[in-house]
Amino acid sequence: MAKIHELASVLADQIAAGEVVERPASVVKELVENAIDAHSTQVDITVEESGLKRISVVDDGDGIADEDVEMAFKRHATSKITDRRDLFKVKSLGFRGEALPSIASVADVTLTTSTGSVGTMIHNVGGKIVAHEPAAARKGTDVTVKDLFGNVPARLKYLKSPTTELSKITDIVNRIALSYPDIAFSLVHNGRELTRTSGRGDLQQVIAGIYGVQSARKMVAISGETPDFKVSGYVSLPELTRASRQYISILLNGRYIHNYQLSKALVAGYGSKLMVGRYPLAVLAITMDPLLVDVNVHPTKQEVRISQEADLTKLIQTTVFQRLSQENLIPDVFSEM
């Protein structure tokens, strides 16, 4: 008798979920990224008990047509890429078609959506659709995730304290808000508002909302470019530092990424202006041809491979260095904030 068989799809989804949904913050990230890909202008995130009881992400984006809504929960089902060539020029945050089926396989998910006409509600528990019916909804999508990891006790055990899990949620929401100043975000936890941005498109204002007005005042705009890369954003003056690199956000084509080489280049731009063990606050947005970056390195897409990375690190370092060289005195241009 043959020994090899295909895994049931729910089981396969649960295995994939291990990579995509590590913790409540990963759910928030995936849902918010979907909202952004759907051209939303407002994204409201509500969380209860650090996301374990409930995570809701409500957007005013394109919505999903009734005929597509079941497909959205199938693994590798996506509206964002079609063929091989698309993979090399991905502009959307998602493209792997894994988030919704992965989340649904380890939680209770209700998605209510409308493209502008009649709305739809679909309820999915542990990877099984238990209801799919018409619903009243305004244009956009509401995804509510309850009882996360309720069916995967091992995963629950692996989570950190509620405070730590919440701080990871706040962190990812803040970084995404810094990446999209044109979108209004709000984050509410157990009824308390933790983050709110206006969506008016002013990055310095978003920075002020997240790191405080005092900090924003001590940050200066940078910009630089080569034929292949463009960098822009804000970096702190050497007088404003932190004890870790975690206040450096690197955004590549609108995606928040982890990249040690790039943050090292940014820090190197300070030359000897920083004390040992101190790091700047920075929001560094990089724009480049998607052909020059491979975002398909890891399921969470926070690690990427960049070709000509050495040119980019040089650009970052010199842009920061030159900007800070102009700053002999602290300018008073931010006093209107």
Residue 34 binds Mg ion (CB under 5 A): yes
Residue 209 binds Mg ion (CB under 5 A): no
Residue 141 binds ligand ADP (CB under 6 A): yes
Residue 152 binds Mg ion (CB under 5 A): no
Residue 26 binds Mg ion (CB under 5 A): no
Considering only 94, 127, 209, 299, the residue that binds Mg ion (CB under 5 A) is 94
User: How many residues sit in the footprint of ligand ADP (CB under 6 A)?
Assistant: 21
Nearer to ligand ADP, 94 or 233 (CB): 94
Q: How far is the CB of 7 from Mg ion (least distance, A)?
A: 22
Chosen from Mg ion, ligand ADP, none, partner binding at 38 (C-beta under 5 to 8 Å by type): ligand ADP
Q: Which range in 34-42, 117-125, 162-170, 178-186 contacts Mg ion by CB under 5 A?
A: 34-42
Chosen from Mg ion, ligand ADP, none, partner binding at 41 (C-beta under 5 to 8 Å by type): none
Q: Which of 16, 47, 334, 332 is nearest to 185 (CA)?
A: 47
Q: How far is the CB of 206 from Mg ion (least distance, A)?
A: 23
Residue 240 binds ligand ADP (CB under 6 A): no
Residue 144 binds ligand ADP (CB under 6 A): no
Burial class (CB in 10 A: 0-12, 13-18, 19+), 214: exposed
- Using alpha carbons, list the distances in angstroms from residue 15 to 41, 239, 312: 33, 47, 36
Considering only 96, 217, 255, 323, the residue that binds ligand ADP (CB under 6 A) is 96
Q: Which range in 95-103, 201-209, 297-305, 328-336 contacts Mg ion by CB under 5 A?
A: 95-103
Scan residues 61-90 and list those touching ligand ADP (CB under 6 A): 61-64, 72, 78-80
Summarize as ranges the residues that interact with ligand ADP (CB under 6 A). 30, 34-35, 38, 59, 61-64, 72, 78-80, 94-100, 141
